[in-house]
């Protein structure tokens, strides 16, 4: 049956409407997890709050298990799910830049929008900076393009790159999450509580 | 309490992950790759000659499934006895999947010529249906070779005469009725001197089938 749009179950024209609905849901979850507080997000880097780690790890596991079991039940065809191409160099550079922005501003783009939604002034400044960045990037794109498009590896999957079976990888990933959550809880107990 | 809940959820996730190690990930895609299709297209083994087809029908081959891919109106006018009608545009419908999905059946597509039947064959192969074939030349060749075989010229080789005799005998099976009883049908065709005559015209199937399959 799925994926719904490539299989023609849902007309591609609906994709923006669906994106809007998923976006509202995503924003709601971010806000109710407390992600519109930059201190909570930054807590991950200082070791006093690991909510970000837990929420994103859990989301990944839920999506991963769901997709694989749906594939097993024949509800979705995983081969038709789009895998974005891998660019090693531009991903590394972009990741470092994003990390700097994250630690300086206290938000990632999604959580920044969330915080704007509840009226945080720091987030409004952050989002203005974000759009400024988008504008600069777009203007400078002809200069950056050769680097941006360099060495496409195509749609790579981590299981294929490591030569592991999907099941084994998923199990290891979940085990890593469970161990990671416990370590996080341990660290959080040790680190001085921060009021925010 | 919250701690217990976390442990239960963690254990559940681990259990589901463990399940994935043991279940085999299925490939739900039923489509074949373009490379595979290219190889398949160049393989002539999909083609079945009309003579072979006639032989299979007369011997009541139990695994044979003839599929007429022409529109329903044409199917109603004339078709090969025993054929089912799946018009090309309905080939991927669910009813058609019942016919095409049976692996052990030998599914032979035919249309007026090769074109639509080959398209049907391509669609079926691309969707990974096995054991599908195309009747070479379609109904046009069926009429030319089986229903109304042309008499070879007197200078033709003995093989051609043998083939003609065989086809004439086959046509009796399919045409039956008045055509079969006409003296012309029983007339023995004399091959040129020196030619071997191996195959006798056997009127047996005609008698067997006469009351069932009258006229065409």
Q: What is the pLDDT of residue B148?
A: 84
Q: In the structure encoding, which two tokens stand for residue B83, read together?
A: 């054929």
Contact B13 A178 (CB under 8 A): yes
Contact B26 A65 (CB under 8 A): no
pLDDT, averaged across chain B: 78
Mutate to test the interface with B, among A55, A164, A170 (most CBs of B within 10 A): A170
Give the nearest partner residue to A72 out of B13, B25, B29, using CB atoms. B25
Question: Any idea what DSSP says for residue A127?
Answer: H
- A126 versus B146: the higher-pLDDT residue is A126
Measured between beta carbons, the chain B residues lying within 8 angstroms of A174 are: 13-14, 16-17
Give the nearest partner residue to B14 out of A68, A166, A174, using CB atoms. A174
Q: What is the pLDDT of residue A141?
A: 92
Helix axes A88-105, A38-46, angle to 10 degrees: 110
What is the average pLDDT across B166-194? 60
Cα–Cα distance, B41 to B124 (Å, whole number) = 12
Q: What is the pLDDT of residue B30?
A: 65
Give the nearest partner residue to A171 out of B18, B28, B29, using CB atoms. B18
Chain B contact present for A181, CB below 8 A: yes
Give the nearest partner residue to A168 out of B6, B16, B21, using CB atoms. B21
Q: What is the pLDDT of residue A82?
A: 84
What is the average pLDDT across B192-197? 48
Measured between beta carbons, the chain B residues lying within 8 angstroms of A189 are: none
Q: What is the ipTM of this complex?
A: 0.73
Residue A64 to chain B, least CA–CA distance (Å): 9
What is the average pLDDT across A65-76? 88
A82: left (phi over 0), alpha (psi -120 to 50) or beta: beta
Contact B13 A72 (CB under 8 A): no
Contact A174 B17 (CB under 8 A): yes
Cα–Cα distance, B129 to B27 (Å, whole number) = 15
Cα–Cα distance, B79 to B58 (Å, whole number) = 16
Residue-wise pLDDT for B1-11, tens only, equals 668 888 898 89
- A94 versus A191: the higher-pLDDT residue is A94
Ranking B38-42, B73-77, B209-213 by mean pLDDT, the lowest is B209-213
Measured between beta carbons, the chain A residues lying within 8 angstroms of B20 are: 65, 68-69, 166-167, 170-171
Q: What is the pLDDT of residue B60?
A: 86
Residue-wise pLDDT for A144-156, tens only, equals 888 888 888 888 8
Measured between beta carbons, the chain A residues lying within 8 angstroms of B23 are: 72, 167
The secondary element (H helix, E strand) that includes residue B130 is: none
Please list the alpha-helical segments (H only) found in A106-165.
109-117, 121-148, 158-162
Contact A170 B29 (CB under 8 A): no
Contact B20 A80 (CB under 8 A): no
Cα–Cα distance, A72 to A65 (Å, whole number) = 10
From residue A169, how far is each of A66, A166, B87 by CA, in Å? 15, 5, 46
Q: How many helices (H) and strands (E) does chain A have?
A: 8, 0
pLDDT band at B216 (very low <50, low <70, confident <90, very high): low
């Amino acid at each position: 049956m799925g994926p719904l749009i490539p299989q023609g179950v849902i007309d591609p024209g609906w994709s923006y409407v669906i994106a809007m609905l998923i976006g509202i849901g995503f924003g709601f979850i971010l806000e109710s997890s407390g992600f519109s507080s930059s201190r909570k997000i930054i807590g991950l880097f200082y070791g006093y709050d690991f909510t970000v780690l837990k929420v994103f790890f859990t989301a990944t596991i839920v999506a991963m298990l769901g997709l694989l079991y749906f594939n097993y039940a024949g509800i979705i065809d995983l081969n038709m799910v789009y895998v974005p191409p891998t660019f090693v160099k531009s991903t590394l550079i972009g990741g470092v830049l994003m990390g700097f922005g994250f630690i300086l501003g206290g938000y990632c783009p999604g959580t920044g929008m969330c915080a704007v939604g509840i009226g945080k002034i720091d987030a409004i400044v952050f989002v203005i900076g974000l759009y400024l960045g988008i504008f600069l990037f777009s203007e400078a794109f002809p200069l950056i393009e050769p680097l941006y498009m360099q060495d496409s590896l195509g749609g790579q999957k981590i299981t294929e790159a490591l030569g592991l079976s999907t099941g084994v990888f998923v199990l290891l990933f979940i085990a890593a999450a469970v161990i990671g959550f416990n370590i996080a809880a341990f660290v959080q107990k040790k680190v001085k509580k921060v009021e925010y | 309490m919250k701690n217990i809940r976390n442990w239960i959820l963690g254990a559940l996730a681990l259990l589901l992950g463990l399940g994935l190690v043991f279940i085999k990930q299925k490939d739900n895609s039923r489509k074949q790759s373009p490379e595979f299709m290219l190889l398949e297209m160049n393989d002539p083994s999909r083609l079945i000659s009309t003579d072979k087809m006639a032989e299979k029908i007369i011997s009541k081959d139990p695994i044979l499934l003839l599929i007429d891919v022409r529109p329903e109106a044409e199917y109603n006018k004339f078709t090969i006895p025993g054929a089912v009608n799946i018009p090309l545009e309905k080939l991927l419908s669910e009813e058609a999947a019942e016919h095409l999905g049976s692996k052990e059946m030998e599914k032979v597509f035919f249309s007026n010529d090769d074109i639509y039947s080959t398209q049907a064959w391509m669609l079926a192969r691309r969707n990974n249906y096995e054991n599908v074939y195309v009747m070479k030349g379609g109904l046009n060749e069926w009429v030319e070779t089986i229903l109304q075989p042309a008499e070879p010229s007197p200078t033709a080789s003995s093989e051609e005469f043998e083939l003609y005799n065989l086809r004439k005998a086959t046509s009796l099976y399919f045409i039956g009725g008045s055509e079969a009883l006409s003296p012309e049908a029983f007339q023995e065709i004399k091959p040129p001197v020196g030619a071997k005559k191996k195959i006798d015209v056997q009127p047996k199937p005609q008698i067997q089938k006469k009351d069932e399959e009258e006229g065409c």
